[in-house]
Chains A and B, each alone.
Chain A
């Protein structure tokens, strides 16, 4: 099959994924216990006022009609308005996403090169002393929940030593130095989790290549060790490495609720958690769809790279 055709097909799968997720998100929020009208009006509301609100919000219509309405608006970029604040959801999300993207971006910049490097180093001498040390450390870090890591970091660097702030409430007027100081701890805590995963996967992927006959051949034809690793092994291990990186980046965007809450960063995760507690259904749905889009896009990107990196597809017979 031709390269463009494969990529287009992959994109189509992405679109279908978004569609299915939108159904699941909508159905999931339908199942949430409690009634929005009740939540808005409080315990003293009369049945009439509740019915009024329900009619105003369109909650009295059948579910599939509401879904069509909601998804149709979503396609136009209209995510609706927040039930609690009455503000446009797209504006709310835009405000918060800059913080999340900053946190995720800085973490990615630190974690991705570091984990690929650690994975490569570990794979040069499998089961050697360095490999075992890296394995032990990454395994330990992956096993400790991120909130515990964060709490430990805070208690050491903020409480005991007082070097860094315990809260990272990013304001528009924060200057670069403040920003940097605020980001150190959350970025470190997040990095620990993702580095462990990415480094281990890189090690496995490269090691898999290093035991192939092609690498033995490269050794026997006199290729120096560094080139062996960086050109011969890595060029074949790109696909699995890119895929695990994409998965972790998606996690950084959508799964950092705990870290955001702990450090009081006003990001998307925190926005969603707040929306859930206030039964702000449209906002929950909006956040969920954004996370879904990020996942789909990043995985699409990773798959496209793996497809392009495969010479069998790039240059068919």
Chain B
């Protein structure tokens, strides 16, 4: 690993955090690794492991209130940490380039894309404006961007997230950098987009002989990209090995835990209800016999009607003045105690569906029945009892929970509002709720900021439970969490589902997560449900074309997968 032609050598790197009183505390300690041209080293770990801090430090940068305290970052025989701030600023953009996690946030929204891509090259006098524009267009071409000649004239908000992420790659590659740092560059993307972007990045790195650092918490993605993997935990190196070695025989228990937490789809899955499975298979367009199909569908309906909790009939919804329809003619049934997984990529309308059910958004058409009664469209018109029965859990617990309220107040409010519980009874119930979400009673007097992301999400969920609802809508509740934490939350949900018999509508972009939990899956695309069936059937081949695309797009935990997948497209007639 330590050959002489390494582009980057990091030696004993340490970064300190400085608090308000000037006290320092090490957050990253003794990190050493090196990268050869055309190679990718990946930093993986959970949030707080220091992976972003390390990657920024290799650019000689530390965030406000942090300081690089020790070590060397040698880029081609020159220690970056010995340079002063203007010298190092000269290196950035030309020798070292950076691709940030969220391109949507990292692009300046007031300037055109082209101006930002070519900015530094022209500013440094490395290229004339014409040369820079030409180079940019050729990079757009290499990265497979649409309309490479004119895309530079657009503003960031005018292109999609996936395109923006690739445009940021073009910005990074502009001046032929020797070192490229990518911080979770595909986390904000859909799985199908992710593949194209990963392939484009990898090709560019190999062709231009760039040394690259790839930061991610997603082990399956890392395995596709990295030659070496450096596992970090609490700012320290756990292990550094080649990707294949990490996969085959990880030395450390922690690495093994990370690998085990990667959600894996168990395919195919034999259903426990043979009749339903047969019926659903018949409903698939691949079985053509209409008479048989009808008979079996009726069987399903009869069986379902016995204890239907929620029915959506022909629900259509649009934002603005009906210009952009986000839900088209959606019909859906949820039985008592059943978990429906709603799967789809960004823009598929899955969150809107959740909002319509909860009354946060008014459908322009169609109706919602709950326990055999038609529900009012807006939550303002719904009775308190109706509100109580359907609860919503939001993705970001940090923003959904009032930072100035203690857990006692956060959980006490729904108890008082819906159930009229106060005082001693409420207090006992809060402790019970905490116990349900596997938190100890001592949390009752804490503020949200004193809790970790996973704990906050548990409180967020407990708040929904407090209302004793029949249905809980979970909108991407694990997508902001680390793999290990997310796994624990899913296990909690499964456990509670069995104990309390609550129905869930579980919205997620991540098929592997939903498949663990859901009895039925609804696959959404462009505001329509393209497939709705028992989970086992959805996952058993033959799949619906679009479902197959989604399934095929999930990175597998083995090397070489990225090279095998190609031409994944879905073109419905």
Contact = CB atoms under 8 A, between A and B. Distances in A.
Contact of B89 (A217, A222, A312): A222
Interface in A268-302: none
Interface string B85-99: 010011111100110
B22 to A, nearest CB: 13
Interface string A23-35: 0000000000000
Given A236-B108, A311-B110, A317 B157 contact: yes
B108 A222 contact: no
A114 B109 CA distance: 27
A214 B92 CA distance: 15
Contacts of A315: 154-155, 157-158
A262 interface: no
B25 to A, nearest CB: 20
B154 A235 contact: no
A136 interface: no
Interface in A197-225: 211-214, 216-225
Interface in B59-113: 59, 61, 63-64, 86, 89-94, 97-98, 100, 102, 105-111
A235 B111 contact: yes
Interface in A205-260: 211-214, 216-225, 227, 231-232, 235-236, 238
A212 to B, nearest CB: 7
Contact of B61 (A212, A219, A225, A232): A219
A311 B107 CA distance: 13
Nearest to B157: A312
B171 interface: yes
B93 A222 contact: yes
A309 B105 CA distance: 18
A219 B92 contact: yes
Contacts of A221: 92-93, 97-98, 119-120, 171-172
Contacts of B1: none
A215 B61 CA distance: 13
Looking at A211, A214, A221, which has the most chain B CB atoms within 10 Å of its CB?
Answer: A221
B123 interface: yes
Where chain A touches its partner, the secondary structure class is helix
A43 B384 CA distance: 68
A305 B154 CA distance: 21
B123 A213 contact: no
B120 A223 contact: yes
Contacts of B61: 219-220
B157 A311 contact: yes
A126 B533 CA distance: 57
Nearest to B97: A221
Contact of B91 (A219, A222, A224, A312): A222
A214 B109 contact: yes
Given A222-B89, A312-B157, A236 B106 contact: no
Interface residues of B, number: 33
Contacts of B92: 219-222
A136 B157 CA distance: 39
A212 B98 CA distance: 16
Nearest to A235: B110
B100 to A, nearest CB: 5
Interface residues of A, number: 25
A312 B106 CA distance: 16
Given A217-B107, A222-B120, A235-B108, A311 B155 contact: yes
Residue among B92, B100, B108 with most chain A CB within 10 A: B108
A211 B64 CA distance: 9
A214 B105 CA distance: 6
Nearest to B117: A221
Contacts of B120: 221-223
Given A311-B157, A317-B158, A214 B94 contact: no
Interface string B35-58: 000000000000000000000100
Contact of A213 (B56, B90, B102, B154): B102
Contacts of A223: 89, 93, 119-120, 123
B300 to A, nearest CB: 41
A217 B100 contact: yes
A86 B120 CA distance: 68
A311 B172 CA distance: 24
Contacts of B89: 219, 222-225
A215 B504 CA distance: 41
A310 to B, nearest CB: 8
B180 to A, nearest CB: 12
Nearest to B183: A220
Contacts of A311: 109-110, 155, 157
Contacts of A218: 108
Given A217-B98, A222-B91, A315-B154, A232 B108 contact: yes
A211 to B, nearest CB: 8
B174 to A, nearest CB: 9
Nearest to A217: B106
Nearest to A212: B105
A303 to B, nearest CB: 17
B108 A213 contact: no
A223 B97 CA distance: 12
Nearest to B63: A216
Contacts of B155: 311-312, 315
A220 B98 contact: yes
A232 B89 CA distance: 16
Contacts of A231: 111
A317 B92 CA distance: 32
B272 to A, nearest CB: 47
Nearest to B100: A217
A317 B323 CA distance: 13
A225 B84 CA distance: 14
Contacts of A224: 86, 89, 123
Contacts of A211: 64
B176 to A, nearest CB: 14
Interface of A: 211-214, 216-225, 227, 231-232, 235-236, 238, 309, 311-312, 315, 317
Interface of B: 56, 59, 61, 63-64, 86, 89-94, 97-98, 100, 102, 105-111, 119-120, 123-124, 154-155, 157-158, 171-172
7 contacts: A214-B107, A217-B107, A219-B61, A220-B61, A311-B157, A312-B155, A317-B158
Q: Which 8 A/B pairs are nearest by Cβ-Cβ distance?
A: A222-B93, A222-B92, A217-B106, A235-B110, A213-B105, A220-B98, A311-B155, A221-B93
Given A220-B92, A222-B90, 13 more contacts: A220-B61, A220-B93, A222-B89, A222-B91, A222-B92, A222-B124, A223-B120, A223-B123, A224-B123, A235-B110, A236-B108, A311-B109, A311-B157
